[in-house]
Amino acid sequence: MSVTLAYPAMGPILEFMEANKRIHLASRCPALHAIDKSTPLRLDFLDFRKNCIQINLMLYHLSHCEERYVESQSQIEDKSSRETLAPGDIQIDGNAFPKFRQFVEFRIGNGLGRESVRRLPANLEIHVALKKLSSFLLGGRATSIEVAEELVFFLNRGDILRLPENLQIWVKALKTMHTNFMDILPILDPSSFPLETLILKKASVHNLQSPVFRTARNVEILGDGVSNLDQEEWHMEFQKLPNKNIFMEYDYYGGDRIVHLVRYWMENGKEIGTCWNFVRRPWEDLVRELDLIKAEIGGTYRRAAIGYALILPFNDDSELVVHAVKIPKLPQKAIQLVIQPKVERSSFTDKIIDPFYANWRLYTLSTVLTLLFGSFFLTVVMGPYAILCVTPPIFMITIFMRSLMPTRG
């Protein structure tokens, strides 16, 4: 005898069911409707685009389409009267009566080539259909919708986000491309703050002043930066940010800007564990940028676990490490600023290794010249047999010097 579950017991099962399967199941079984709406909806990924909603891997998309008129006999007869010019009528630029009619097409796809297409009623406008769609997928929930990975808004200025009433979304990572993140704060559950990650295309001065921005644990700023009108004000606000982790993709913040940022930190302090990254183009010389910081502020080049690093004393307990890093999964490299606890170094390191890193170019040139002249002298004195005596020492010294040379960014 088979055992069936009572409908109330379906709540925990629905809660951890894949979201799209759950929505489909609840739509086919009216008895589950109330249980579905009262049970928390858990998503991995939620993306809003123009006339489109993506839940996990499933895409729900509305679009305008056209088809050529297939006219009935009555329409053909009526067409003659519609196209006949009465006295006083003027037809502009020839016959332009519509040969196509528009309708709204609804597509559901999983990104793997499987897609279902449905034509909506002719009198249903696309914005009305979008409102009905979002209400069907996300509306009427008694609790906040939980998005485990990322909530994305990819909308342009002027686009209208059609959402159900009283929608609340709990999220850890918020990504707003071409969208002001402050516009969508009303639909975010207050318990989402502080955000784990905030990703945005541009950050205005007003954004930098927002508590949501300033309290996010990780901030990524993508795109082309700020307008020329507010660069100085933007720079002043940016260097005051308390965020511990910032990733900036565009090249606006480089050179002198980094020098000003470092000076501000040294004058006003910064928390240990702060890590800010500024992406550079693949062909840019990051060592030259480090040299600029050293020339303007000072510091010492030292060999560290991360390679070639500029160390600047920060205070009695911490120091600032500036170095080049490779960005995971991207071709670019970045200048990274890290505040770390001060590292006590041995007298050998202070007296031998650190001066070498501070003047490594001079030492390297001196070593190469010494090897060349020494080899030439021995060859003159000993003849051809000098090659056998000179080659192994030169090879070993070269390997040793290469191991000491800083890694260029």
Q: Mind giving me the DSSP string for 295-306?
A: HHH--EEEEETT
pLDDT of residue 287: 79
- Quick one: CA dihedral 96, 99, 105, 109, positive or negative? negative
Bigger pLDDT: 88 or 211?
211
Give the pLDDT confidence of 111-162 residue by residue, as tens digits.
666 778 888 887 888 889 999 999 999 999 999 999 999 999 998 888 889 9
* 64 touches 102 (CB < 8 A): yes
Cα(341)–Cα(136) distance, integer angstroms? 53
Chain mean position to CA 64: 30
Break the chain into its structural domains and give their ranges. 7-37, 254-358, 365-404
Cα(114)–Cα(246) distance, integer angstroms? 39
Cα(303)–Cα(322) distance, integer angstroms? 12
Over the chain, what is the mean pLDDT?
A: 80
Helices (H), 72-149: 73-83, 126-138
Return the SS3 of 93.
Answer: coil
Judge whether residue 409 has pLDDT over 50: no
CATH number for the domain running over 254-358 = 3.30.310
* 208 touches 237 (CB < 8 A): yes
Q: State the pLDDT confidence band at 282, using cuts at 50, 70 and 90.
A: confident
Measured in residues, the chain has a length of 409
Please state which of the ranges 106-110, 194-198, 348-352 shows the lowest mean pLDDT: 348-352
pLDDT of residue 36: 87
Cα(188)–Cα(170) distance, integer angstroms? 6
Cα(342)–Cα(77) distance, integer angstroms? 90
Judge whether residue 365 has pLDDT over 60: no
Judge whether residue 38 has pLDDT over 70: yes
pTM, full prediction: 0.77
Return the SS3 of 358.
Answer: helix
Q: State the pLDDT confidence band at 196, using cuts at 50, 70 and 90.
A: very high
CA angle (86, 92, 93) in 5-degree steps = 130
- Quick one: CA dihedral 382, 384, 386, 388, positive or negative? negative
